[in-house]
Structure 1
C-alpha cells in the first residue's frame, strides 16, 4: 500500500480515559455510556467516533462516485448508526446502518451510487465480512 496520509492517536484509560492525536487537534475525554454501565454524560465514546469517521468517509466516497457519473448529490447527508452488541457466544460485536440521503435522486440511481460507494469506501472495505453493514437510501416524501 502506498501511504497517502497517516495519523496517530493515543488513548489512555480506555473507555473512561483521554484520547489525543499526535497534532493535538483531537484531544478529548471519553466516558463509557450509561448503557454499558458508565456514567455517560457530555463526553464521547469509541462508537460515536467510529460513526463520525465512517459517515464522513462514506460521504466523501459518494462524492467521488457521483463525480465519476457526472451527477450532483445536492445537499446530501450520511448518518451512521453504530450498535455494540453481543453474539450468542457473548462476544462483543459491532454493526452499522448507513442512512444515505440524496435529495431528488431516482431510486435506481441512488441505490447504484450507494452500492458503488460501499464497494470502494475504505471504512466499508475494512469492515466487509467483519461486521454487518446495512445500506439505506432515504427518499424525499
Structure 2
C-alpha cells in the first residue's frame, strides 16, 4: 500500500509580465525582475532560475546519497548547471546539463553518488524523460 504524499513546503510566487515582468514570492524572500534570455533587460530568466533551483536541490540530494552510502563528501562540492532553451519544428523545449564537481572522490564513487542523487532529487524526477539531461562529473 502506497502512502499519500505529505507536503513539506509550498513555494508561492506571483509573476506578472511574463519574461519581461517581475516575480515575487508570497513570503517576500524573492523579488526579481525578469527579462528575455540574451535580451537587453537586466533581470534573470526562467532558464537561470531552473538551473539555480535544480542544482541547489541536486546538491542536497548528493549529500543525502553520500550519507546513505556512508561516504564522506569533499568540502567543496559544486554544480555548474546549464539549461538550454531550444526551438525546433515542434516548438520550444529545454535541455540540461549538470556538471558536478566532487573533488577528491574517486570517479566510481562520485558516479554512484550522482546516480543515486538523480534518482531521488525531486527536480530530476520531474524532468527525467521530459527533457534531454546530461549529468557529468568534472
Instruction: Identify the TM-score tier after normalising by the shorter chain.
Output: over 0.9
Give the CA deviation at 1:69: 1.1
**Residue matched to 1:28:** 32
**Residue matched to 2:129:** 129
Q: Which residue of 4, 17, 21 maps to 1:17?
A: 21
Q: Structure 2 CA distance, aligned partners of 1:72 and 1:99?
A: 20
**Residue matched to 2:93:** 93
**Residue matched to 1:119:** 119
**Residue matched to 1:39:** 40
Q: What stretches of structure 1 move > 4 A for 4+ residues in a row?
A: none
TM-score by length of 1: 0.90
Instruction: Count the aligned residue pairs.
Output: 133
Give the CA deviation at 1:90: 4.0
Unaligned runs of 5+ in 2: none
After superposition, the CA RMSD in angstroms is 1.0
Give the CA deviation at 1:97: 0.2
Q: Structure 1 CA distance, aligned partners of 2:34 and 2:20?
A: 5
